[in-house]
Amino acid sequence: MERTRLNSCGLIIGTLILMSCNRPAKHNQPNPDMFTGAKGEVKLITLDPGHFHAALVQKTMYETVNPVVHVYAPEGKDVMEHIGRVESYNTRRDNPTAWVEKLYTGPDYLAHMIDESQGNVVVISGNNARKTEYIYAAVKAGFNVLADKPMVITKSGFPLLMEAFSIAEKNGVLLYDIMTERYEITAILQRELSMIPEVFGKLTSGTADDPAITKESVHHFFKYVSGKPLIRPAWFFDVHQQGEGIADVTTHLVDLIQWEAFPGVIIDTSDVEMISARRWATNLSPGQFNLITGLDTYPEYLDEFTQDSLLQVFSNGEIFYRIKGVYAKVSVTWNFQAPEGTGDTHYSIMKGTHCDLIIRQGAEENYQPVLYIELAGNENPDSFHKELSGKFKTIETRYPGITLKKLHQSKWIIEIPGEYKVGHEAHFGEVTERFLKYLQDGRLPEWEVPNMITKYYIITRALDLAKDGK
């Protein structure tokens, strides 16, 4: 009987989720020897893909991953676009992939996925409204989960995510989110340099008005992905389904602060003091909405966000908080479209007692991220340059081709060859490779789970603060 079915689309009701979550685990019980690195032993399942990130996990092949991938989703445009993206990787001229997608659609897709148990790793990237429930159901059934950010978008959903981590540990499976920004070369080097005390000194504490570490990100609704205009689903603009910007993209920024400022350190929610947060909307015209989604009119569920024909999208946010005594700030802004020749941008600063490590991505940098080292006020430039040049040899050895260039008496630039600038899409493959290694290890690093929990604690609390106007 043909396995692929196209049934009418339906919503998953809470009862179905609870029923599926209470099914006994069929596989992946605690077993550190489950994954050995054997060819094709990892079997992917893609659950309700509604975001292009789901396909980017499959932009490359992996030796330990079986080429047959089972996809479970409601019938509709989202899943078909996902299938199309994967097929475009299969048919590209250079280094084509060889994925075989086995699709099941129908209102019972989640229960069907659990009943069939056709894989051991579930990839979840799509509509965020049900993502936490999906994660919970998957780990409860004994699947490992590789989830796109954010894992949760509301404070009310946070306890379910906490429970999912607890069940994952009990069932001996891994639950991990896709933090691609850790693989961006300037972020890597900023972290590396901050760990050399002779160069950076110590991270300052900062103040509420002058944080010690700041991460700012600018994104755009209309962009090109894999060489084609990205068509976003209309639900992407419904904050009840996608989440607000303050609980979405800031996930990456909060993660980078923890990963860079406290490498390998377990961070608990008690280490965090929320100070303030704010949110604001980006307005889109009907024409802009059409260009992004291909739709001529707003769906009814967006009516509450429209005013004078403009769609108000609360995609922007800013968070001030203190973490382990260090003042930090993150902010995200979404515009309609980047000016010609530009794109998404990032700004980051870590303030040390000897120098500041700054990533800029503006016009002067050709809208490409560039890492600068700027001397702190009381440092002797000549002594610092000598110390920096000597310690930088470690960086040059670890990353061949990367060099240090002095711009003037108190400022240096890190020159990075193009081979390290692989781009955002390639980072998904790097995250997946790391996750596959963790599967073979049978565990995540000790700090990963508590730090993921703290990360989502911060963004969900920040959203509440912003809504309260505090």
Sequence spans of domains, the chain: 14-178, 182-427
- Residue for token pair 């894989």: 119
The whole-model pTM stands at 0.90
Distance CA 178, CA 180 (A): 6
User: In 108-204, where do the E strands start and end?
Assistant: 121-124, 144-147, 175-177
Distance CA 53, CA 82 (A): 9
Q: CB atoms < 10 A from the CB of 222, how many?
A: 16
Residue 318 forms beta bridges with which residues?
A: 278, 331
Query: In this structure, what token pair is assigned to residue 190?
Result: 């900023």
Residue at 103: amino acid letter:
L
Backbone angles phi, psi at 103, to 5 degrees: -100, 135
> Please, how many CA atoms are within 13 Å of residue 4, restricted to the half-sphere of its CB?
11
pLDDT for 470: 64
**From the centroid of its chain, how far is CA 381?**
38
Distance CA 79, CA 81 (A): 5
Q: In a 3-state reduction of DSSP, which class is residue 28?
A: coil
Q: What angle do CA 117, 120, 123 make, to 5 degrees?
A: 100
pLDDT for 231: 87
Distance CA 220, CA 237 (A): 13
| Alpha helices (runs of H) in 5-121, residue ranges in sequence order | 14-21, 53-56, 77-91, 109-116
Between helices 14-21 and 109-116, what is the axis angle to 10°?
Answer: 10
pLDDT for 229: 79
46 close to 126: Cβ distance less than 8 angstroms: no
Query: In this structure, what token pair is assigned to residue 66?
Result: 């079986």
Between helices 250-261 and 448-468, what is the axis angle to 10°?
Answer: 130
Query: Taking the chain (470 residues) in consecutive chunks of 10 residues, what is each chunk's mean pLDDT?
Result: 33 34 38 79 97 95 98 96 96 97 98 97 96 98 97 97 98 97 97 97 96 95 78 92 93 98 98 97 96 94 95 97 98 88 86 97 89 91 95 96 95 97 93 98 97 98 91
Question: Quick check: bond before 150 cis, omega within 30?
Answer: yes
Burial of 97 (0-12, 13-18, 19+ CB in 10 A): middle
CATH superfamily, region 182-427: Dihydrodipicolinate Reductase; domain 2 (3.30.360.10)
HEC secondary structure over 80-105: HHHHHHHHHHHHCCCCCCCCEEEEEE
- Alpha carbon of 404 to those of 350, 355, 388: distances in Å? 18, 15, 9
pLDDT for 374: 97
The CATH number corresponding to 14-178 among 3.40.50.720, 2.60.40.10, 3.40.50.300, 3.50.50.60 equals 3.40.50.720
pLDDT for 6: 31
Q: What angle do CA 307, 289, 461 make, to 5 degrees?
A: 70
Residue 320 forms beta bridges with which residues?
A: 276, 329
Q: In a 3-state reduction of DSSP, which class is residue 146?
A: strand
Distance CA 268, CA 324 (A): 9
